[in-house]
Structure 1
Amino acid sequence: MKFSKYYLAALVSFTIWGFFSLALKPLHDYASLDILFYRVFFCAVIMSVISLLGRTKVLKENITIFKNFSPGQRQKITVLTLSGGFLLTANWFFFIYVMNHISVKAASFAYLVCPIMTTVIAFFVLDEKLSKWQWTAVLLSVLSCMLLSFSNIADIAYSLIVAASYAFYLVGQRQNVGLDKFLILTVQIIFSALLLLPFYPVYSEGVPTELSFYALIVVIAVVFTILPLFMNLYALQKVRSSTMGILLYINPLMNFVIALFYFHEPINMVQVAAYSLILLSIIVFNEKYIFGRRRNVIAG
C-alpha cells in the first residue's frame, strides 16, 4: 500500500500532540478554563487574520462554492462544522482538566479509549470495513485498556468523556467535504470562541500578567492546535476514520514515555504490559503500510 502524504499528515499531527504535555504542564498553576479561554481566543484571532488577509482568494472561492451547494448540502456542512467546533471545545476543556488536575497518565488513558471508540463508530456510522488484522488490533487495544482500567478506575469517567468527544469529531469531519479544510477549521475555532466568550467574564480568574503564560499559549495555539488539527482535517480527505483512530495511539504512547522519563510519574508492570500491547496493536493495524512494500517486492 502506498504511503501517502495524507497518511504522513496524520502521523505528524499525532506525533506533535505527543509533546503537548511539555507545553501544558508548566501552566498547571492556572485554572483549566483560563487556559482553554486563551487557547481558543488566540487561535481564533490568528486563524481569522490568516483567512482574511492571507487567503482572501480561497475565502471568496469557498463562499461561492457554498452558495452553489444544494440546500441539503449546505445544511449538512453547517451542522458538521458547528458540531465539530462544539466537540473540540468539550474535548479541550476536559483534556486540560485531566492533564493538570488528575495526571498525565489519566489524560493518556483517554486517548487509549478514543481509537477504539473511533474505529467502532466509523464501522457502524461510515460503514468502514476492517480486515482480520485490524480487528485483531482493536481487540489488543481493548485488552490493553482493560488492563489499565484496573488501576485507574476513578479516572475512567473523565477518560470516556475526553475520548468520546474527539472520536465523534473525527467521524463527523470525515463526512465534512467540499470546502477548504483550513477554512472549515477557522469557522470551528471562531464558533468555539463564541461559545466560550459569555463564560469568560464569569469564570475567568483574572487576566494573567506573566509573559511566560502568553508565550506558552501562543505555542499551544499554533504548534499544538492549529497545525495538528489542520493536518487531521487534511488527512481525513483520504485516510479512513478508523485508521486515524488507531494512529491516535501515537499520542498516549508518547505521553506515557514523557510521564515516565520526564515527569517521573510512578509506573507498574501492568502499565508496561498494557502500553506494549498498544504498540503491538498499532503495528498490527497498519501492517499493510509497514509490510506492504516488502510483500510487493517478494511478489514481484
Structure 2
Amino acid sequence: MNGTTPAEAAASRARAGLLYGLAAYGLWGIMPIYFKWLKAVPSIDIVAHRIVWSLVALAILATLAGAWDQVRAAIRHRRTLAFLFVTALLIGTNWMLYVYAINSGHILAGSLGYYLNPLANILLGRFILKERLTKLQWTAVAIAAVGIAVLAAGALGTLWISLTLCFSFATYGLLRKIIHVESLAGLTIETALLFPIALGWLLMGGTVGRPMFGSGGSETVLLVATGIVSTVPLLCFTAAARRLAYSTVGMLQFIAPTLQFLLAVAIYNEPFTNAHAIAFGCIWTALALYLGSMVRDRRARQQLECSELAEA
C-alpha cells in the first residue's frame, strides 16, 4: 500500500490525462505548418509515408517500453483486433482528408471539422457512455452548436470535409476509449494493419512521376519525420481519452481547431468572415462555461469530502 486514497489516485489520473490532452491538441493545432512544408507532395503520398514511418517509430517505442506483450495479447483477442481494424480505417481516413484539407487551401474547413468534433464527443459521452452533463454544460453545448451552425451555413461547399473529419475522429476516439488496450499497443496494431497498403502504394511508385522518398534534401527528411510528427500527438490523445471523461476530452479538443483557425487566417490568408467571428465567439463562450462548470463541481466535491472527514 502506498497510502494513496482512491480520490487522490483519481485526481492524479485526471491531472495526467489533462496534460496529455493539452499536449495532443496543442501539437495538432500547429501541425498545418508542417504539412504546408510538404505541399509539393500529393496528399496520398504524404499519408503513405506517415503510416510507414509511424510504424517504424512505434516499433522502437514499443521495444523501449516493453509493450510487445500487450501487442500480442491484443492480437490474440479477436474482438479487440476487430475493433482495432475499424479504428485503423477511421484514423487512415482522417489522416488522408486532413492532409488534403491543409494542402488544398481548406484549413478553415478542417478547423470546422475539429470544432464539430468536441460536440460529437460530448454527445457520444452522454448517450453512449452515459456520462452526465449539468444544465450549465448543456448550455455550453447549445451555444457552441449555434456558433458552428452559423459557420457551417457559410461553408456548404466544403462541409463534407468538415463532417467527415468530425465523424471519423469522434468515432475513433469513442472506440479507443471502449477497447481495453493501452495507447501504444493499440496504435502500433492500427498502424501495422494499414502498413501493407501504404508500403505497397509507395513501392508501386506512389503518385506517377514522383520519387518514392521525395525530391531529396529537406523534403525527404520531412517525409521520414512524419512518423514522429504523427505518432506523438496520437499517443497523447489516446492516453488522455483513457484517463478523462469523454465529454472533458471533447471540450479540450477546441484547442486544436482554434490554433488551426488562427494559422489559416493570420498566416495563410484564408478569408475571415462575419460567420467565422460569430462562431469563434460562441465556441469560446461555450468553453468558458463548460470549464467553469467543471471547476465548480470539483470544488463542491472537495467541500463534501472535507465535511465527511470532519464528521468522521
Q: TM-score range by the shorter chain?
A: 0.7 to 0.9
Question: What CA distance in whole angstroms lies between the structure 1 residues aligned with 2:205 and 2:119?
Answer: 37
Are residues 1:58 and 2:67 paired?
Answer: yes
Q: Give the unaligned 5+ runs of structure 2.
A: 1-9, 307-312
Query: Deviation of residue 202 (structure 1)?
Result: 6.3
Are residues 1:138 and 2:141 paired?
Answer: yes
The one-letter code of the counterpart of 1:21 is P
The one-letter code of the counterpart of 1:176 is I
Q: Could you list the per-position Cα deviations for residues 225-247 of structure 1 after superposition, in whole angstroms to 9, with x for gaps in the alignment?
A: 21111111111222122221221
Are residues 1:170 and 2:173 paired?
Answer: yes
Q: Could you say if the C-alpha distance between residues 20 and 65 of structure 1 is closer, same or farther in structure 2, counting changes exceeding 3 Å?
A: closer
Q: Could you list the per-position Cα deviations for residues 46-100 of structure 1 after superposition, in whole angstroms to 9, with x for gaps in the alignment?
A: 212332x423x43236636876xxxxxx232112222111110000001111121
Aligned to 2:190: 188
**Pick from 273, 280, 287: which aligns with 2:285?**
280
Aligned to 1:85: 88
Q: Could you say if the C-alpha distance between residues 291 and 254 of structure 1 is closer, same or farther in structure 2, counting changes exceeding 3 Å?
A: farther
- Identity value in percent: 21
Q: Could you list the per-position Cα deviations for residues 244-271 of structure 1 after superposition, in whole angstroms to 9, with x for gaps in the alignment?
A: 1221111110111112222222212321
Aligned to 1:19: 30
Query: Deviation of residue 18 (structure 1)?
Result: 0.5
Give the number of the structure whose alpha-carbon radius of gyration is greater: 2
Aligned to 2:155: 152
**Pick from 262, 265, 284: which aligns with 1:257?**
262
Query: Deviation of residue 141 (structure 1)?
Result: 1.7
Q: Could you list the per-position Cα deviations for residues 129-168 of structure 1 after superposition, in whole angstroms to 9, with x for gaps in the alignment?
A: 2221221121112111111112211011121111100010
The one-letter code of the counterpart of 2:146 is L
The one-letter code of the counterpart of 1:222 is I
Q: Could you say if the C-alpha distance between residues 284 and 218 of structure 1 is closer, same or farther in structure 2, counting changes exceeding 3 Å?
A: farther
**Pick from 104, 112, 116: which aligns with 1:101?**
104
**Pick from 198, 215, 219: which aligns with 2:221?**
215
- With 208-217 and 41-50 compared, the bigger mean Cα shift is at 208-217
Question: What CA distance in whole angstroms lies between the structure 1 residues aligned with 2:106 and 2:73?
Answer: 47
Q: Could you list the per-position Cα deviations for residues 196-236 of structure 1 after superposition, in whole angstroms to 9, with x for gaps in the alignment?
A: 3444426433221232223223443213x211111111112
Question: What CA distance in whole angstroms lies between the structure 2 residues aligned with 1:6 and 1:29?
Answer: 37
Question: What CA distance in whole angstroms lies between the structure 1 residues aligned with 2:301 and 2:244?
Answer: 21
Mapping of residues 66-81 of structure 1, within 5 Å: 74-81=77-84
Q: Could you say if the C-alpha distance between residues 292 and 119 of structure 1 is closer, same or farther in structure 2, counting changes exceeding 3 Å?
A: closer
Q: Could you list the per-position Cα deviations for residues 255-290 of structure 1 after superposition, in whole angstroms to 9, with x for gaps in the alignment?
A: 111122222222123211211211121222222445
The one-letter code of the counterpart of 2:154 is S
Normalising by structure 2, report the TM-score.
Answer: 0.84
**Pick from 28, 35, 41: which aligns with 1:30?**
41
Aligned to 1:4: 15
Normalising by structure 1, report the TM-score.
Answer: 0.87
Aligned to 1:71: none
Aligned to 1:234: 239
Aligned length: 290
The alignment's C-alpha RMSD in Å is 2.5
Q: Is the 8 A contact 2:56 2:227 kept in 1?
A: no
Q: Is the 8 A contact 2:29 2:259 kept in 1?
A: yes
The one-letter code of the counterpart of 2:223 is I
Q: Could you say if the C-alpha distance between residues 36 and 248 of structure 1 is closer, same or farther in structure 2, counting changes exceeding 3 Å?
A: same
Name the SS of the counterpart of 1:127 in structure 2. Answer: coil
The one-letter code of the counterpart of 1:9 is Y
Q: Is the 8 A contact 1:23 1:219 kept in 2?
A: no
